[in-house]
Amino acid sequence: MNSQTVQSEKSTKIKGNLDMYEKRIALHERKIYDLKNLISLGISLSSNLNFQSLVESILFSCMGQMFVDRVAILLQVDIDEPNYYIHMSKGYDESFPDRKIILNENSSLLRYLAKNPDPRPFGQLKSTPSLVIDCDKLEILTPDLIVPMKSKNAVNGIIVLGKKMTGEEYSESEKEFLVDLGKFAAIAVENSRLYLMATLDRMTRLYIHHYFQERLLEAIKRCKRTNTPMSLIMSDIDHFKKFNDRYGHQQGDIVLKEVAAIFRQSIRSIDIPARYGGEEFAIILPETALADAIGVASRLRKEVEAHEFTGQNDPLHVTISLGIAQYDPERDKDKSDLISRADTALYRAKNAGRNRVAAYK
């Protein structure tokens, strides 16, 4: 072997070692980058108690980190509803039916993921005979990777990821990242869920009185700071005591639940609906002047009036009265003044014949 050949082999070996070294450096840099992202994401998730905002953050984190254009999350949110359903999705058609997919809390897939909490290719899961039925329910999501959200010894959610936009397979380092993301997400969702349950009225799913008072105070401070309008609606169900006496308290509970559902579905995400007490409700409308608040109240009144309430052989009907006041820093020295003015408007509506809207002017 001549010296030139020896020198060439040495150069090739050195180059190979350098390439391997550079690959290791790149791998370590990627892991450091992922670790920084995880720390930042963990801090962000743990400090967010707003349930909807939290879930949205989890989905956008998956999309940005994994370069996917479709992601969905199945959650068990309500303590009264044991099943898991699609709570939120991103990247699907606007008509995509959230809540359509339902997995029983004792389903084979959830039991399998509880025992095997690592990210799993959807194709691998579907090829397992005992999981076929549950996997068929997920087909509408065109899944590529399933990420369990395991908190303590239970799975409280599933993140469903579509194919990567690059067309590549998920790497092992990406799967490792998703394992940690799933754990962070599970803990954050559980904390946020517990907070949500503590601030919601169990029957109506509206905010409780104490939470309403806190948020109203915050809204007033924001008005003073930003010089933006804010209005308050106070409402109650007309002749509710007579209705209870005639049909019973169970039927009355159905009416409370369905009126509350109309309120939740008919207002913006930034609005704050609360059960003020008994059959009386309150809604805080940030960034809303009196004229717009009257429009909101009028729409709610019409929707409740037209609604057919269940529980009897024939549909039942009830009406509501609503009073509105816009926050006035000159007149409202504290939140009780604003509540009092909205309440005064409510009683004007009731005294004028009920089933109507009145504004404090």
What is the length of the chain? 361
Distance CA 183, CA 89 (A): 19
Which DSSP state fits 68? B
Q: Following DSSP, what letter does each residue of 274-337 receive, concatenated?
A: EEEETTEEEEEEET--HHHHHHHHHHHHHHHHH--B-SSSS-B---EEEEEEE--TTT-SSHHH
279 is catalytic: yes
Q: Tell me the sheet residues that pair with 320.
A: 237
Q: In Å, how far are 12, 51, 183 from 86, measured between CA atoms?
A: 55, 14, 19
Three-state secondary structure call for residue 252 = helix
Distance CA 100, CA 161 (A): 17
For residue 194, give both structure tokens.
């517990």
Spot the catalytic one: 81, 105, 279, 305. Answer: 279
Residues annotated as part of the active site: 279
